[in-house]
Structure 1
Amino acid sequence: MDDTELLAALIGHAQFRDDYAGGGVLPEGTRHVLAEVDHSRPLRAHQQEKAVQILREWMDPLWDVPTELEAYLRREVFDRLAAADDIYHLSELGDEAIHDWGRVHDYFPEFVLIDRSAGQITLVVAADD
């Protein structure tokens, strides 16, 4: 499969429609921060260094990251970023897609990591809740 097919499969998967608000997967739901069912939301290819910078900017200015969380993020996010063959940054949805609860999150970077050697596709959603 090429990247376009992998991304379409990810976006089309029922679990992609999790609303991240405690409701779990809603197969008929429309609130998922990424769920543009018509696949019109653009993805931008990113280099690993740029993705790390975006995630560090999300983490660092707000608080000192506890050692245990830093180790977890290194293992589960940053090591996967380093191993990824392709990294896609999902673009902003804009004001037309504000969550029905309002602006619950102001900034939440989202990435899709494709690691062909491991046979993995990883969705990273960095939220401040």
Structure 2
Amino acid sequence: MSIPAVVNLAEKLASFNDHWKPHIVGHYNGNEIRVAKIGGDFTWHAHPETDEMFLIIKGKMGIEFRDGVRHFGAGEMVVVPKGVEHRPFATEECHILFLDREGESNTGDTPSHRTRAKLESI
């Protein structure tokens, strides 16, 4: 067995500037560990087959649900259950780590201008 690599999230996030363009920084039990910088509004979407976990590294974000909104900041996380329609947003740049099933579209079941066909590993 080889010794696992340590991932420095600050370095990974410093390596790109685009908003809403997730990058893969690791894999865990069939999931991709992704980081992204976000700002403004994302699109309404759901992930019918899988939950989605968001952890805020820096800044604040919100997630709008059809029946309300959740706001959270650095050090806080939320798990969006599979099939729940949601729309992430951030009024200022926010850095996040999130987990999605390997190969899961970043826009779930609703392709849009924010869909990334292939995510880059960094």
TM-score by length of structure 1 reads 0.24
TM-score by length of structure 2 reads 0.25
Asked which structure has the greater CA Rg, the reply is 1
Q: Larger relative CO (CA 8 A, sep 6+): 1 or 2?
A: 2
Which structure shows the higher helix fraction? 1
